[in-house]
Structure 1
């Protein structure tokens, strides 16, 4: 074998190693630890919240080496404070490769934050550290069975339709008055249709389906949910319509403005579990330093947990990312200016018993800044609450927190 051939083989091996390393890092950045047939999901490894305390477990999903037409996913976790196991298992099968059409089935016995709204077309989101989870204390237990159809309607339009039935038990004292009945536990049977539209993005086909090769803005998501009374023992008739848009105005790389608008409207007999809470992230303690925690990505840092609930809500966040300070090749902290505003209301708050909350009809405003990546991904956040819900005690309007930003 000539030296030239040896050199070519060495280059090929080096290139293959580089591709494998890049693929591994990409999987890790998406929250997976890949193995031959199964990718372990790092989201279930360890978390913490006020109800479960430390929550730890294992989970994951089969990969393409196992099958390109079938997939199986499952997880099991344990909460040390509530001394309870939670779990989920399911699977899916592809019925059309060209449109990436899948039918998925799942069974879940777990907790969900009361007042949180999930867009079912949202892509997977992973953070090594999820700050809001630390302080959440208002959860409801749910046993949910669901069937989902996902379909790529157009290159830039993805859709999902889901039908689910849930048995719900709040972990806190709560009674909902509906049709002259008082319910502490209830069943919900719901149909959901969601559409995600990215008109200014570019896509290319690949073995794993369409890949977004150019990220364009704005992006839009629209979702409609209908709870059906009497369907599989469902207790309520109500509907929800939710809308989200994200837009970026880019000056140059790492120097841009981002606008996020989220709105929702619930109509009919809607329990508190399915209302809107505007993503608060402040704990009810006396001093600023006692409330010192970690800032979220899109949360209201000066809004106290469980302070407001609404059946109609509009929330807008404005962020401007200044060009990072070029202190050295590795040390480049970045200043982000932030303003958030939310307005909402609730038609019949008296239906919700044993809980106390306020209305957002005066409009909630906070502004502040983040100074990110000061040391090992950590930074600092400062927010100030003013306007219609400004509090009499000056320090109660202030939130001082860590930020944490790490990218692979």
Structure 2
């Protein structure tokens, strides 16, 4: 019996061993990495399961997964919102590696159909998709970052700009034979085509802090790496800022998303149901929480709207889990042929979703999609997201943007360890490629040509000659005018800057000239933000009377030489100037200066007055003044070169206050007075109704002065349209010692034309402007009441041509059509009053070269 029990025991052990051995042999383990097929980026939180089972796993933050089962399975299924579901064969009962690349769904949203016996008309009422989007809008405040007491996170972003869609024929042209190392290949189905030539790459690592009360954003730039060009043409940091503005942050929770100068309406904006059509196109139950796929298309295909899909959590919070946005083919925006945005959100420890990754892809070009153009990309990755962590107030003090001292000096090892995203090696090649390119003589010659064409200057060692567009001009006083000038660059000195020009008028046979010397106090270019320099200058040239900010010299080119009406009154100006300019990182600046200005009338202009009834003609007048200008431009950004910079207009206001005090008896000054002028400039974005550029300006002169020192209001007698001048006012027509003006220039961005079938394809844009001016002259400065003052100018027939404003304001307005051939704007201008003044017109047609996106 004992032998039987022993045998049974051994048999049982053997059977258990065989069962375990069999089970082990059937164990199926699959692991690998899941990437986006387009940009090769890892996809986090992708659902992976054995087909027809409940054995599920998800990828981690870098796209890695492991799926195991004690049973044999022959297929795995991969699901991810916005991507095509894949079912892949595997070897059963084997441990194996399966790397997967997912493709985005290519659903054409403009072809969404609702099947029924009769085609249903789309309505918002009783539409479950619209009811859902209303829930999303209602819950926006609790799902935004701003709902938290504090938020902090680390951000890594990279942006790239490339020539795209280059054919093999173009690539193999003789001019590029030496540059073949620059070209990359990509999937031909990707935006931008097959061959691309990367020309710019920038990476940044940032630490962000947000506090709700009192509200404050603080950004610390920990590392910054970018392509470095020869900075004779562009400023390397500024071009990065320019591209960053083009590839703006995409916050779907804001009502409007700004790209370049255009404002797109978010699909979850408060008023989105009035501009979008929504459709529930899928329900995802393999995701926790469950999701609803909500597709949308614009009601007006030419409007600044998206089409795409958003995935809404069905947990009562109605948060956005993922979003896929793209522009339609008919959208009224220039040079952008296609634009795609992909947004991913992750849940924090409290279960609240926040942006974890965004990818923006833009195809720029003049022709149709598929032709040569430019490709822009920007990816933002957010990690270490924390909310409601208290920090001392000292963290939020000072500037909102702080750059670590060694941010641009980080080593390659630092970047390899701290990149929060897998950046493909072919993107990193651009750093060495551009270094190699910059050493090639042929490329340096190409930069020289670009400098002449776009900036107007030709570099000769440490000196630049130009501007060449001002080489030739003409006016009634000088006749044919030639001008040649130049300036030094940082190659000459980072402390000293010299500039000069000479000009000659063949009719008046007089030389004009200018020279300046500047000393940089911060050992940086005097054009580079923040400016800090001292400058002295001397200038002798021709001015349009009373408009010292718009002399013939700055506008000295062939286009501005053509004038309407009578243009025969000028002054020869002689300026001595000294100034101290100081800007701060907060974008507050001050300029303290001294100016001595001698005005000599020329042409038919004379300075006449009366003493004891006798006519007295004055040959010239001289003023000497100290002035202080205060300027504050929060969040201002520039497109900047080595010897110039241009402000980019954004939504933030710019405040300017200028105080001047005239000196009598010192430095040859003949008049004592004080002048105060203030301006506020602001751009208002009005979503689908366009944008308005508004300027409010006021001025007051204290003291008794002759008319050349009054505010002579900016007029325009050219055929070009000038935004900040009165386009139907004649030069010197109105003067004031106190005034208030309002200028509104509104761009409707195709709001009307986009709805007209025959015009919508032209992508024209409508403009409307209003310009109002109130002002006057106090009795003490009115030459009609005081004959001993210099008298207002008259025509050759003795008819008055200069006036003070009466009880009614000067008003003019215009209706314009822009984006003609993408570069022209025409305005029909109407002047509403003071029509009895000599030489004025009630209507006028003006043109303007205006590049817009």
Question: Which band: TM-score by shorter chain?
Answer: 0.7 to 0.9
Quick check: 1:364 aligned with 2:810?
yes
Q: Which moved more, 1:351-360 or 1:311-320?
A: 351-360
Q: RMSD of the TM alignment (CA)? A: 4.2
Quick check: 1:249 aligned with 2:684?
yes
Q: Which residue of 2 aligns with 1:174?
A: 607
2: CA distance, partners of 1:264 / 1:91: 31
2:826 to 364, 380, 383: 380
Contact 2:473 2:561 in 1 (8 A): no
Q: Shift of residue 45 of structure 1?
A: 1.8
Q: Which residue of 2 aligns with 1:57?
A: 483
1: CA distance, partners of 2:594 / 2:676: 16
Q: Shift of residue 336 of structure 1?
A: 1.4
Alignment of 1:179-190 (within 5 A): 183-190=618-625
Quick check: 1:37 aligned with 2:462?
yes
Alignment of 1:67-82 (within 5 A): 67-82=493-508
Contact 2:651 2:685 in 1 (8 A): no
2: CA distance, partners of 1:398 / 1:271: 32
2: CA distance, partners of 1:74 / 1:253: 47
Contact 2:473 2:557 in 1 (8 A): no
Q: Shift of residue 74 of structure 1?
A: 0.1
Contact 2:651 2:684 in 1 (8 A): no
Residues 250 and 227 from structure 1, CA distance in 2 versus in 1: closer, same or farther, beyond 3 angstroms?
same
Alignment of 1:254-293 (within 5 A): 255-282=690-717, 293=719
Q: Which residue of 2 aligns with 1:89?
A: 515
Quick check: 1:236 aligned with 2:671?
yes
Alignment of 1:18-33 (within 5 A): 25=450, 29-33=454-458
Residues 149 and 79 from structure 1, CA distance in 2 versus in 1: closer, same or farther, beyond 3 angstroms?
same
Quick check: 1:134 aligned with 2:560?
no
2: CA distance, partners of 1:253 / 1:176: 56
Quick check: 1:313 aligned with 2:751?
no
Q: Would you tell me which structure has more helix in proportion to its own residues? A: 2
| Number of equivalences | 388
Q: Shift of residue 220 of structure 1?
A: 1.1
Q: TM-score, normalised by structure 1?
A: 0.79
1: CA distance, partners of 2:489 / 2:706: 38
Q: Which residue of 1 aligns with 2:78?
A: none
Residues 196 and 239 from structure 1, CA distance in 2 versus in 1: closer, same or farther, beyond 3 angstroms?
same
Contact 1:228 1:238 in 2 (8 A): yes
Contact 1:150 1:161 in 2 (8 A): yes
1:352 to 790, 811, 831: 790
Q: Shift of residue 229 of structure 1?
A: 0.5
Contact 2:649 2:683 in 1 (8 A): no
Q: Would you tell me which structure has more strand in proportion to its own residues? A: 1
Residues 312 and 54 from structure 1, CA distance in 2 versus in 1: closer, same or farther, beyond 3 angstroms?
farther
Q: Which moved more, 1:261-270 or 1:130-139?
A: 130-139
Secondary structure in 2 matching 1:372:
strand
Q: Indicate the structure (1 or 2) with the bigger Cα radius of gyration.
A: 2
Contact 1:44 1:75 in 2 (8 A): no
Contact 1:107 1:143 in 2 (8 A): yes
Contact 1:60 1:73 in 2 (8 A): yes
Flag the structure with more relative contact order, 1 or 2, with Cα contacts below 8 A and sequence separation at least 6: 1
2: CA distance, partners of 1:323 / 1:302: 25
Q: TM-score, normalised by structure 2?
A: 0.40
Contact 1:196 1:222 in 2 (8 A): yes
Q: Shift of residue 35 of structure 1?
A: 4.1
Q: Which residue of 1 aligns with 2:723?
A: 297
1: CA distance, partners of 2:678 / 2:457: 29
Residues 6 and 399 from structure 1, CA distance in 2 versus in 1: closer, same or farther, beyond 3 angstroms?
closer
Q: CA deviation digits over 1:232-263, x for unaligned, max 9?
A: 12111112111122110124599411101222
2: CA distance, partners of 1:221 / 1:237: 23
2:748 to 322, 333, 346: 322
Contact 1:167 1:187 in 2 (8 A): yes
2:768 to 327, 337, 347: 337
Q: Shift of residue 53 of structure 1?
A: 3.2
Secondary structure in 2 matching 1:300:
coil
2: CA distance, partners of 1:243 / 1:46: 35
Q: Shift of residue 37 of structure 1?
A: 1.7
Q: Shift of residue 227 of structure 1?
A: 1.2
Contact 1:140 1:273 in 2 (8 A): no
Name stretches of at least 5 consecutive residues in structure 2 with no aligned partner.
1-179, 183-428, 525-529, 784-788, 794-799
Residues 138 and 217 from structure 1, CA distance in 2 versus in 1: closer, same or farther, beyond 3 angstroms?
farther
Residues 369 and 48 from structure 1, CA distance in 2 versus in 1: closer, same or farther, beyond 3 angstroms?
farther
Q: Which residue of 1 aligns with 2:576?
A: 145
Q: Which residue of 1 aligns with 2:60?
A: none
2: CA distance, partners of 1:329 / 1:22: 38
Q: CA deviation digits over 1:274-296, x for unaligned, max 9?
A: 2223222248xxxxxxxxx3322
Quick check: 1:405 aligned with 2:405?
no
Q: Shift of residue 12 of structure 1?
A: 3.8
Contact 1:142 1:166 in 2 (8 A): yes
2: CA distance, partners of 1:169 / 1:28: 36
Q: Which residue of 2 aligns with 1:288?
A: none
Q: Which moved more, 1:368-377 or 1:73-82?
A: 368-377
2: CA distance, partners of 1:370 / 1:19: 42
Quick check: 1:114 aligned with 2:540?
no
Contact 1:50 1:134 in 2 (8 A): no
Quick check: 1:156 aligned with 2:156?
no
Residues 76 and 202 from structure 1, CA distance in 2 versus in 1: closer, same or farther, beyond 3 angstroms?
closer
Residues 58 and 332 from structure 1, CA distance in 2 versus in 1: closer, same or farther, beyond 3 angstroms?
farther
Q: CA deviation digits over 1:39-65, x for unaligned, max 9?
A: 233263223333333332111211111
